[in-house]
């Protein structure tokens, strides 16, 4: 039992202005708007311009989250950044964002759990706050997935977009407020379903680039089945562990993976669809950024009020999957 709570004191998000529509993609690969809309629910996604990076998008989201929390960067005790598209292999993207916030002695590091990355980062941040070790922790999910996307592969390029979301977790005296529950999972046996080759196992070479192995690879059909099953399990787990019934849950914010995956899982659970926040049509799958962008949009649209109970769920490469329950 924790002495402290970790409330969400502020949220922020950032999206590149450049839009890539389904019709734009139809000029690049053999696809069309009808196929993409029916199979995924996505109409367009945002793509980072030259000079726009995981770090710059994260910085913008961080500044908005700090402003919403009425804090300045120096109030931060820790920065935890979820990403699979870091500024560089190293230093961490968290270090770049800390530097650009004007900080030079605030711990910052990255958490890599693919599309579950924000929920892993949130879990880490919440433990620091709830234990009493830190007062204000910035948690981000920020990505430029377009930089890993093969725009000749219609099976993957239609799915992803760029963006960033951030929250400030803040210590409070009520342990039943803010982040109250989370579970994290990983199974590397599913690593072949969704991966991006460059690294120690596949150092970058001319041959690799000729074979387009610098880009992410997806077995969409396998991931689809995995996502539907885990989605249901994660929601059920959150409700059982927190003793919640559907009427006590104000909103589910899922990873924006595919409208059909979301519909299928929610229908099986018998949960009212109007309580599920979906913005996939505008941004596609932004990996670790999808949950915090959706949270920020719901907050700014006035759809979340004091006392609301939210469930977050996400799943992705690893395989990884995670949930969290937050009382606002």
Q: Bridge-partner residues for 108, per DSSP?
A: 79
285 is catalytic: yes
Q: Which of 221, 248, 268, 303 binds ligand COA (CB under 6 A)?
A: 221
Per-residue mark of binding to ligand COA, 201-220 (x: CB under 6 A) = -----------------x-x
Q: How far is the CB of 55 from ligand COA (least distance, A)?
A: 22
Residues between 100 and 119 with contacts to ligand COA, criterion CB under 6 A: 115
Neighbouring residues of 118: CB distance < 8 A, sequence distance ≥ 6? 82, 139, 140, 141, 165, 288, 289, 290, 291, 292, 314
Q: How far is the CB of 176 from ligand COA (least distance, A)?
A: 31
Spatial distance between the Cα atoms of 143 and 86, rounded to a whole number of angstroms: 7
Residue nearest to ligand COA (CB): 220
Neighbouring residues of 124: CB distance < 8 A, sequence distance ≥ 6? 80, 111, 139
258 is catalytic: no
Spatial distance between the Cα atoms of 170 and 190, rounded to a whole number of angstroms: 35
Q: How far is the CB of 313 from ligand COA (least distance, A)?
A: 11
List, as one string, the DSSP characters of 263-312: HHHHHHHT--GGGB---HHHH-B-GGGHHHHHHHHHHHTT---TT-EEEE
**Residue closer to ligand COA, measured from CB, 137 or 227:** 227
Q: How far is the CB of 268 from ligand COA (least distance, A)?
A: 17
And the tokens for 70? 């009425």
And the tokens for 284? 């596609």
Q: How far is the CB of 29 from ligand COA (least distance, A)?
A: 7
Catalytic residue among 196, 255, 258, 323: 255
Per-residue mark of binding to ligand COA, 137-156 (x: CB under 6 A) = -----------------xx-
Residue 193: count other Cβ atoms within 10 Å of its Cβ.
20
Phi-psi category of 38—alpha, beta or left, where left has phi over 0 and alpha has psi -120 to 50? alpha
Cα–Cα separations (whole angstroms), residue 127 to 11, 114, 204, 243, 261: 19, 20, 37, 21, 30
Q: Is 265 in the site for ligand COA (CB under 6 A)?
A: no
Q: Which of 47, 137, 194, 313 binds ligand COA (CB under 6 A)?
A: 194
Catalytic residue among 115, 136, 196, 323: 115
**Residue closer to ligand COA, measured from CB, 76 or 266:** 266
115 is catalytic: yes
Per-residue mark of binding to ligand COA, 26-55 (x: CB under 6 A) = -----x---x---xx---------------
| Site size for ligand COA (CB under 6 A) | 19
Q: How far is the CB of 82 from ligand COA (least distance, A)?
A: 13
Closest CA to 82 of 232, 228, 292: 292
Spatial distance between the Cα atoms of 266 and 251, rounded to a whole number of angstroms: 12
Q: Which of 14, 84, 98, 158 binds ligand COA (CB under 6 A)?
A: 158
**Residue closer to ligand COA, measured from CB, 146 or 285:** 285
Closest CA to 10 of 70, 81, 77: 70
Binding site for ligand COA (CB under 6 A): 31, 35, 39-40, 115, 154-155, 158-159, 194, 218, 220-221, 223-224, 257-258, 285, 316
Which residues are identified as catalytic?
A: 115, 255, 285
């Amino acid at each position: 039992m924790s002495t402290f709570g970790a409330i969400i004191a502020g949220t922020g998000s950032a999206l590149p202005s450049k839009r890539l529509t389904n019709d734009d993609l139809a000029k690049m690969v053999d696809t069309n708007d009808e196929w993409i809309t029916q199979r995924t629910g996505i109409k367009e996604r945002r793509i980072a311009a030259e000079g726009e990076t995981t770090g710059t998008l994260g910085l913008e989201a961080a500044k908005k989250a700090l402003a919403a929390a009425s804090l300045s960067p120096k109030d931060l005790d820790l920065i935890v950044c979820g990403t699979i598209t870091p500024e560089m292999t190293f230093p961490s993207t968290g270090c770049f964002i800390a530097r650009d916030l004007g900080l030079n002695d605030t711990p910052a590091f990255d958490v890599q759990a693919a599309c579950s990355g924000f929920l892993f980062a949130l879990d880490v941040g919440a433990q620091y706050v709830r234990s009493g070790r830190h007062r204000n922790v910035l948690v981000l999910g920020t990505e430029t997935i377009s930089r890993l996307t093969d725009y000749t592969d219609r099976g993957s390029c239609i799915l992803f977009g760029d963006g960033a979301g951030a929250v400030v977790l803040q210590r409070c005296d009520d342990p039943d407020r803010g982040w109250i529950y989370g579970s994290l999972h990983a199974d590397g046996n599913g690593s072949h379903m969704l991966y991006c080759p460059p690294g120690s196992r596949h150092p970058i070479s001319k041959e690799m680039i000729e074979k387009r192995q610098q880009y992410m690879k997806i077995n969409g059909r396998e991931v689809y089945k995995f996502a539907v099953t885990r989605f249901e399990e994660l929601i059920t787990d959150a409700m059982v562990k927190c003793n919640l019934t559907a009427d006590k849950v104000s909103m589910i914010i899922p990873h924006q993976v595919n409208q059909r995956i979301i519909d299928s899982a929610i229908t099986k659970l018998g949960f009212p669809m109007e309580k599920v926040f979906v913005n996939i049509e505008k941004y596609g799958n932004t990996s670790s950024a999808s949950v915090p962008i959706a949270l920020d949009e719901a907050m700014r649209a006035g759809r979340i009020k004091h006392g609301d109970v939210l469930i977050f769920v996400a799943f992705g490469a690893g395989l990884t999957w995670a949930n969290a329950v937050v009382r606002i």
